[in-house]
Amino acid sequence: MPAKKVLHLLTILILLTACSPSREIERLGIIHTLGIDVTDDSQQIETTMVIFQFDDQAETLTKNISGQGKTVRGARNDASSQSAYHLAAGQLQLQLFGKEVAEQGVLPYLNMLVRDANAPDTVFLAVTNQKTKEMLDTGRELTEISIGQFLHGVIEQEKKEHKIPRSDLQIFSRTYFEPGQDPWLPVLDIEEELPAMVSMGMFQDDRYVGEISLKDAFYLNLFLNRIPPAPLELSLPREPFRDYMPGHEDMESKDDLYIKIQLKGSTNTKLVDEDGLHYQTDVKVKFRLDESSEVVVVKDEKVAELFEKEIAKKMEEGYGSLLKKLQDMQSDPFGFGTYYRVQKKKGEMTSDEWRELYPDISVDFNVDAEMIHYGTIQ
């Protein structure tokens, strides 16, 4: 390379380095959690932020601050003007939406995140059953650590145990822009005097339209992903197991047997009748019995097969019930629309076209359950 070109490149690099702003960390408020609400008159946006402050004169490491404005940036600037710190979003880990905001649509606030080069695309997203300001202010009083870290940890733990599907900015954005599939987000609330995840929110495009239970969220995750062993609690009819329960004659009459299992598995879905909008989903799982509400002696394959049959039946019923709920909400997180779309010419289909078809689809859920260990459980 000619010396003249090398000199030009070095000059550019030096100039670019000189343009990089530097700030003392003691003057920064590092935003960990950002909550978005609409004000009571719905005329402005209110943001509540959990920030880390590294000033050795500060009484606590974290602080909640709020601001209002016509836009998220405007509200953030308003909050910044009330603080002695410059607010930086480079370490944003969690963005919350009040339910009212989520029902109106979250896409404008996601665009803000996507356009911010400092915001990571792995930031967790979630909905709160009340205003995020109430959740963050109340939760701060109830937890011993930063409320932002606490809520992030709650979601992270459920994800690590494969109880729920991923719910970060990257996944939400990808699902939103996929014709034939709708996004989902965890729903947080105060439960038994502690912040907790209480359900999974279902979306129609970018609008919150309802919720499903955390058990249903597990079924959704199993549908979407191959999962390693993960805990699941089920209630089975007690009657088929009576003969394998020692002393059952003296036991109080009950209808259900409650069990906890470790389950791993995967699914395979195909559109078997395009004109009839009929699908088949094969769910293959292996499970280990960890615990039951009563002693059950699984002494041979006959009893093991009985558990396999009843668990498969329970899961098939669960999937069927879940699909009906989702059709009533007009939300398709399963992505059945994507299976239909690939059959269309050039794979083209709009979300509105799928909305008209989705209520009429039918699905055969076939669960093949295999018990991998057995013996006496209690």
What is the mean predicted confidence (pLDDT) over 15-42?
70
What is the mean predicted confidence (pLDDT) over 362-378?
82
Q: Residue 326: its pLDDT value, please?
A: 98
Q: Among candidates 331, 312, 320, 325, which has minimal Cα distance to 362? A: 320
Collapse the DSSP code of 269 into the 3-class scheme (helix H, G, I; strand E, B; otherwise coil) and give the result: strand
What is this structure's pTM?
0.87
Rama region for 205: left / alpha / beta (φ>0; ψ in -120 to 50; rest): left
Lowest mean pLDDT among 28-37, 46-55, 94-103, 350-359: 46-55
For residue 192, name the pLDDT band (cuts at 50, 70, 90).
Answer: confident
Bridge-based pairing state of the strands 124-128 and 278-292: unpaired
What is the mean predicted confidence (pLDDT) over 270-289?
96
Per-residue pLDDT for 318 more than 60? yes
Write out the CATH class of domain 228-377: alpha beta
* pLDDT tens digits, 234-257: 999 999 998 888 876 555 667 899
C-alpha dist (Å) from residue 74 to 77, 79, 81: 5, 9, 11
What's the N-to-C CA distance of the chain in angstroms?
A: 76
Q: Residue 20: its pLDDT value, please?
A: 43
Q: Where are the domains of the chain?
A: 24-212, 228-377
* pLDDT tens digits, 50-103: 988 765 555 667 888 899 999 888 888 888 877 666 776 667 899 999 999 999
